[in-house]
Amino acid sequence: MIRFENVSKVYARGARPALDQVSVDVERGEFVFLVGASGSGKSTFLSLVLREQRPTRGHVYVAGRDVANLSAWRVPTLRRQLGVVFQDFRLLQNKTVHENVAFALQVIGKPRHAIRDTVPEVLDMVGLAGKGKRMPTELSGGEQQRAAIARAIVNRPQILLADEPTGNLDPTTSLGIMRLLDRINRTGTTVVMATHDDEIVNEMRRRVVELSDGVVVRDEARGGYGEREAILPDVGASPVLDSPGSGTRAPVQTVRGV
C-alpha cells in the first residue's frame, strides 16, 4: 500500500537529511506506529506519502503509484485516497461539525444528496451522533479529534495518516481515539500513525517503525514503544545541574528488536 524505497529527504542543501535511506513497506490493512524522538522525521515521512514534499532521492509508492513523479494535476486524485488527521485537529472554526465534515466532500465535488447521507453516518461512526450542529469550540478536545477523523474518513480513503492524533489529549480520551482508529483499521483501512505516546503503543502491540535522525532503527511486527531517552540527563550526584558538560547526553543503550 505504501512503499518507501531508499528514500532520503533533505530540506535545505547542506542540512542533515530529515530522512536517510528509508525503506519501509506497509501492506494493505496494516496498522503501523511511527515512533522516534522529536525531529526524527515522522512528520516528514507522512508528508512524503501525502506528496506535500517530494523525496530528494528514492521512490515513494502509494497505492501502486510513484508519488514523487506524480504530475501536479494528479495529486488531488492521490489525496482523495488518503485521509489525514493532526495533533491540532485543524477544524474550521466558523463551521459546525457537520459542515466541517461535509466540506471535505463539497470541495471534491460530491453531489449534495450523497453528502446529506454520508455525513451523519460518519459522525455516528466516530461517536458524534447528534453533535453535528455544534461548533468546534463547543466540543471537548477528544470530540474535536473525532470530528477531524470523521472528516478524514468521510470519503472512505484506503489509507489514514495520523500525525500525533492523541498529542493534545489526556490518556483516557486518547484511548477512545485509539479504539476509533483501531475500528477504522478493522474495516480495511491502512493506518499509519506517528506518535510519542508510549502507553498506547505498548498497549496496542501493532507494528512499530522507529526512526532516529531520519534512519529506520527498528521495524517490529508487534512492538512496544521502546525505551525513552531520559528527559533529564543522568548527572549523578553532581550538585550543579547546568554545569559545563552536563548538557551532553549520556549515550543510551536500547535493545533493538529485529
* Of 35-43, 134-142, 150-158, 234-242: span binding ligand ATP (CB under 6 A): 35-43
76 binds other proteins (CB under 8 A): yes
Among 12, 13, 38, 73, binds other proteins (CB under 8 A): 73
Q: In whole angstroms, how close is the CB of 170 to ligand ATP at the nearest point? A: 19
Q: Which long-range contacts (CB under 8 A, 24 or more apart) does 141-147 make?
A: 141/89, 141/168, 141/169, 141/173, 142/169, 142/173, 142/174, 142/176, 142/177, 144/89, 144/91, 145/85, 145/89, 145/169, 145/173, 145/177, 146/177, 146/180, 147/89, 147/91, 147/97, 147/100, 147/101, 147/123
Residue 216: name its binding partner from other proteins, Mg ion, ligand ATP, none (Cβ under 5 to 8 Å by kind).
Answer: none
Q: In whole angstroms, how close is the CB of 72 to other proteins at the nearest point? A: 6
Q: How many CB atoms lie within 10 A of CB 256?
A: 12
Strands 19-26, 2-9: parallel, antiparallel or unpaired by DSSP?
antiparallel
Q: Please, which residue, 38 or 137, has the CB nearer to ligand ATP? A: 38
Among 38, 94, 172, 248, binds ligand ATP (CB under 6 A): 38
CA distance 143 to 150: 10
104 binds other proteins (CB under 8 A): yes
- Of residues 21-50, which lie at the interface with other proteins (CB under 8 A)? 50
CA distance 131 to 205: 32
18 binds ligand ATP (CB under 6 A): yes
155 binds other proteins (CB under 8 A): yes
39 binds ligand ATP (CB under 6 A): yes
CA distance 41 to 30: 20
Q: Please, which residue, 151 or 206, has the CB nearer to other proteins? A: 151
Among 1, 67, 84, 193, binds other proteins (CB under 8 A): 84
**Binding-residue total with other proteins (CB under 8 A):** 25
Partners of 65 in the β-ladder = 62
